[in-house]
Amino acid sequence: MADHLSGGIHIRNLYKIFGHNPALHVDAVQKGMTKAELNEKFGHILGLRNINLEIPSGRIQVIMGLSGSGKSTLIRHINRLVDPTCGEVLVDGVDIVKMNQDELRAFRRHQTAMVFQKFALLPHRTVLDNTIFGLEVQGIDRSKAIDIAMRWLDRVGLKGFEEKYPNQLSGGMQQRVGLARALANDAPVLLMDEAFSALDPLIRMDMQTVLLDIQKEIEKTIVFITHDLDEALRLGDQIAILRDGEIIQQGTSQDIVLRPADDYVANFVKEVNRGRVVHVEAVMMPLLAGAQTVGVSITAGTTIEDAMRMLADTSDGVGTVVSTSGQPLGKVSFRQLAGAMIDIQDVPREQTDPIAISS
């Protein structure tokens, strides 16, 4: 558990236009000029339009969308690898857009760390020397840096590989080095740009598990970019979906799956196994005042799929949904959960609220 939380991010009214005179066209974009019109009339490219995003400290914020949606452009604003055309990017209340070069250099060294899709390891340095690279830049004594690096290499499963070179490692192992290097910096904000996209599916799942396990301990503010919805739903405390530089919808995995904002989002979620995402609260029958609890206790936040496993071996297939403090909230049956697994797939978007599903 982290001793303290920091690294909350607020992005406000952020616009990015690429071209020789982007500021000249902000007003037209704010008044509704489309990406296609901006390119056709002025030869400028709209990267981001009116991005407003609040990322609480200690949470994983997933930003997803198709290629060209603006997700990588957005994450690069958080450490100002890309300068905005207008808008604010506040980290712990400080607007990094207003930082001078010395302030920005210190911010990048101490406040943020980044994990890249293509690993970005230095081929002439060993695993250990790659991991301590950021600590060297910070001027930390080598012996102390090695102690820190070895702890994180052990934590990501690379103990014994510290003297290997990147070309001696598999892709998944190289990405573990990248993750260890980022974690060794102990920055409150961790930026991960398509960090697992180059990995094979099984290795990718393994890296997701590693990240989630570590996050329980370190509670960093993580901004994770992906084009994969299953990955977004598994990792994200909250998710923002981009299209053509705009946020189409933001919310929890429950919000995205049960209440897609439009057909674009609905097409993303239509093939999702909702049983692995939807929680039992969405399908339970609320308990009436004075009603008796029944069967096994199922904690709120349990997915339908996991709840079905809990009820599968019971004699009556009935359970009580309880809060984390043990307060009874509702009841569910195996049959009801199985029906919800089918019904949710076919419920029209405007009907996918908890009441409609549980009726």
DSSP 349: G
Among left, alpha and beta (phi > 0; psi -120 to 50; other), residue 50 is: left
User: How crowded is residue 6: how many other Cβ atoms within 10 Å of its Cβ?
Assistant: 16
Q: In the structure, what pLDDT confidence band is assigned to residue 344 with cuts at 50, 70 and 90?
A: low
Burial of 60: CB neighbours in 10 Å, binned 0-12, 13-18, 19+? buried
Query: Residue 33 pLDDT more than 50?
Result: yes
Q: In what order do the strands lie in the sheet with 285-286?
A: 285-286, 328-333, 318-322, 296-299
Cβ–Cβ under 8 Å, residues 71 and 65: yes
Domain boundary among 224, 240, 269: 269
What are 4-19's pLDDT values in tens digits? 346 799 999 999 999 9
Structural domain count, the chain: 2
Find tokens 């980044």 and name the residue.
114
What are 320-335's pLDDT values in tens digits? 999 888 888 999 999 8
What are 225-279's pLDDT values in tens digits? 998 888 999 999 999 999 999 999 999 988 898 889 999 898 888 888 888 888 9
Q: Are residues 129 and 219 in the same domain?
A: yes
Cβ–Cβ under 8 Å, residues 171 and 203: yes
Query: Residue 218 pLDDT more than 80?
Result: yes
Query: Domain for residue 41, yes or no?
Result: no
Q: How far does CA 223 lie from the centroid of its chain?
A: 5
DSSP 156: T
Find tokens 């599903």 and name the residue.
357
The confidence score (pLDDT) of residue 6 equals 66
What are 59-76's pLDDT values in tens digits? 999 999 888 899 999 999
Backbone angles phi, psi at 316, to 5 degrees: -105, -10
Average pLDDT, stretch 207-222? 93
The confidence score (pLDDT) of residue 268 equals 81
Q: Are residues 313 and 343 in the same domain?
A: yes
Q: Are residues 107 and 228 in the same domain?
A: yes
The confidence score (pLDDT) of residue 349 equals 39
Average pLDDT, stretch 28-50? 95
Query: Domain for residue 254, yes or no?
Result: yes
- Enumerate the H helices of 185-299 as residue ranges: 201-218, 229-235, 253-258, 263-269
Domain boundary among 250, 269, 288: 269
Q: Closest Cα partner for 268 from 67, 69, 66? A: 66
Find tokens 């609480």 and name the residue.
56
Q: Are residues 327 and 208 in the same domain?
A: no
What is the rounded distance in angstroms from the CA atom of residue 300 to the CA atom of residue 285? 13
Q: Are residues 164 and 222 in the same domain?
A: yes
Query: Domain for residue 94, yes or no?
Result: no
Query: Domain for residue 245, yes or no?
Result: yes
Query: Domain for residue 136, yes or no?
Result: yes
What are 73-90's pLDDT values in tens digits? 999 999 999 999 999 999
Side chain identity at residue 152, one-letter code:
W
SS (HEC) of 312-343: HCCCCCEEEEECCCCCEEEEEEHHHHHHHHHH
**Three-state DSSP class for 46?**
strand
pTM: 0.84
The confidence score (pLDDT) of residue 161 equals 95
Cβ–Cβ under 8 Å, residues 253 and 231: no
What's the mean pLDDT when you consider all of the chain? 88
H helix and E strand count, the chain: 15, 14
Domain boundary among 227, 243, 269: 269
Q: Are residues 205 and 223 in the same domain?
A: yes
What is the rounded distance in angstroms from the CA atom of residue 237 to the CA atom of residue 112? 19
E strand or H helix that includes residue 90:
strand 86-91
Which range marks the domain in which residue 143 is found?
Answer: 56-76+99-269
Query: Residue 115 pLDDT more than 70?
Result: yes
Query: Residue 159 pLDDT more than 80?
Result: yes
Query: Residue 131 pLDDT more than 90?
Result: yes
Q: Are residues 241 and 353 in the same domain?
A: no
Q: Closest Cα partner for 255 from 116, 133, 122, 354? A: 354
Q: In the structure, what pLDDT confidence band is assigned to residue 354 with cuts at 50, 70 and 90?
A: very low
Average pLDDT, stretch 107-118? 88
Tell me the CATH number at 330.
Answer: 3.90.1280.20
Q: Closest Cα partner for 345 from 262, 261, 283, 271? A: 271
Query: Domain for residue 308, yes or no?
Result: yes
Query: Domain for residue 82, yes or no?
Result: no
Q: Are residues 161 and 251 in the same domain?
A: yes
Residue bearing the bigger pLDDT, 82 or 356: 82
**Three-state DSSP class for 132?**
coil
Q: Are residues 105 and 238 in the same domain?
A: yes
